[in-house]
Structure 1
Amino acid sequence: MRLRRGGMVACLLCTVVIAAIEPAAAQSVNKRLIDQLNFQLIYVALPLTLFVEVILIYAVVRFRNNDDPLPTAEDPALEITWTIATAIILLFVGFAAYTVLTSPYITPNQPGDQVNQMAANGTNNSSAPDAVIVEGLAYQWGWQFEYQNSNRTTQDELVIPANSEVYVRMTSADVIHSLFVPELGVKQDVFPSRTTVVHTRVYEPGTYRGYCTEFCGAGHARMRTTVRVLPQDEYQQWLRGNATAEK
């Protein structure tokens, strides 16, 4: 009876804790997917953690003065129950992670062939007429971005439009680098002689900081970039070289 009451208390505490946690609004599709997965796992992990802790505390207090401990009695029903419960939890975690990892925003190889064909043809795919393709080059120790159908090239600054499908085709001029933009949930390794793709859709205009997270030499700590997200009209002005969009 006490153990059941402890479990009920643990579940109640877990409900209160989860209700008190309110995630901040995600700035991109990538960040939203990652945040959703994290909170799905929290919903599973917190009740289990609290339940196990309650059982542990109960066992320590209840049997602290037991000078003649007995072997644990066999209980096939209980063993089958926790085995099935564990399997269900693992299946839920695996399915939740699989649906996120297979998203084209999270797994960069999925849109690779499509983006390569779009870049080669110089046209956008009909299913994403507003798609923006940017060619990215990482080098010791900086970033360069070239914009399709435009003569614009930027150093250490990636400029993209808000609410558009954005593909950044990345390669390295020397060693392995990695582009990480925490606020957008973007992280992609960049390799020499190989193209990897960053696929994102950012909701809110603004400025976000990006970093290289793969140690690449003495200047690694200085290898940073800025991701500037502009409204659609301002982005088009910027592509045409309109000075008002630079402010």
Structure 2
Amino acid sequence: MGRRQRTLIALAALASLVALTGTVAAQSENRDLIDGLEYQLLYVALPLTVFVLIILVYAAVKFHDNDDPEPTTEDPALEITWTVATAIILLFVGLSGYSVLVNPYVSPSQSIATEDPDRDEFDSFDDLPDSDDEEVFVRGYQWEWQATYPDSNVTTENEIVIPADENVTIWLTSDDVVHSLFVPDLGIKQDAFPGDFTRARTIVSDPGRYDVVCAEFCGAGHSRMAASIVAVDSETYDQWLAEHDTKDTVTDAPALE
């Protein structure tokens, strides 16, 4: 097999690997941002990995019987080239990661203090600044999640109903120990602290039911602290709130079509 054939095979293998990592439709803005970053880094990492492996195999085959090795000759131009190339790659990784990490859907806690600099702390959900999003207040406790809807006096247990295709802010707190709201399919993860309030922000594009787990060990019932985020279209969401708009109502999520 000639050098050209080996090169073509290597390029075909690389193309196959890249094709296998093709993007799929994300179900939320959060997931889209995280997946986009992963694919950017993957497209850089795969060619580098293949390049290093080819050099490694080449060196192992060419020099495996070399009983009298000689030191590599100095090559300043080559050293400068790989140093600059490494710096460029690291800069790309840093800028790509930073652009995603500062996005309000990935790191939504642009700190509550930033949104309301006149307040150092908040005593209840009622004190939180207005986010201009559809808001849901979620309280974690051993070992359940309770969601309340401030404008409708609706409360649910272990089901967090949100409208699809809208900006949604989930304000989180805890009644006892540290919990963490984690929705893998939506790319949402935010801790809930006793006596403090944190924020998770999202836009869910596909109506459906998404599993929620607690990602912070919180006691003997930690593994059972499961819930669901139920995303429905805006009309269904408004109708569901209106049907249960009575004080202290505890209800189930609307049925998905």
Q: Identify whether the pair has TM-score above 0.5, normalized to the shorter chain.
A: yes
Contact 2:182 2:189 in 1 (8 A): yes
State the 1:110 CA deviation: 1.4
Return the letter of the residue paired with 2:54.
Answer: V
Identity of aligned residues (%): 49
Give 2:82's aligned residue: 82
State the 1:103 CA deviation: 0.1
State the 1:74 CA deviation: 1.0
- What runs of 5+ residues in structure 1 fail to find an aligned partner? none
Aligned length: 241
- What runs of 5+ residues in structure 2 fail to find an aligned partner? 120-124, 245-250
Contact 1:6 1:55 in 2 (8 A): no
**Inter-CA distance 73–7: structure 2 relative to 1 (3 Å threshold):** farther
3-state secondary structure, aligned to 1:202: coil
Contact 2:21 2:39 in 1 (8 A): no
3-state secondary structure, aligned to 1:62: helix
Task: Give the TM-score of the pair, scaled to structure 1.
Answer: 0.89
Instruction: Check if 1:185 corresponds to 2:193.
Output: no
* CA distance in structure 2 between the aligned counterparts of 1:123 and 1:97, rounded to whole angstroms: 29
Give 1:233's aligned residue: 235
* CA distance in structure 2 between the aligned counterparts of 1:188 and 1:30, rounded to whole angstroms: 12
Give 2:248's aligned residue: none
Give 1:109's aligned residue: 109
Task: Give the TM-score of the pair, scaled to structure 2.
Answer: 0.85
* CA distance in structure 2 between the aligned counterparts of 1:115 and 1:199, rounded to whole angstroms: 17
Give 2:254's aligned residue: 246
Return the letter of the residue paired with 2:63.
Answer: F
Over residues 149-174 of structure 1, what are the superposed CA-to-partner deviations in whole Å (9 max), with x where a residue is unaligned?
Answer: 11101111100000111111101111
Give 1:168's aligned residue: 170
**Inter-CA distance 171–18: structure 2 relative to 1 (3 Å threshold):** same
Contact 1:167 1:198 in 2 (8 A): yes
**Inter-CA distance 5–63: structure 2 relative to 1 (3 Å threshold):** farther
Contact 1:181 1:210 in 2 (8 A): yes
Q: Residue 138 of structure 2: which of 132, 136, 139 is its match?
A: 136
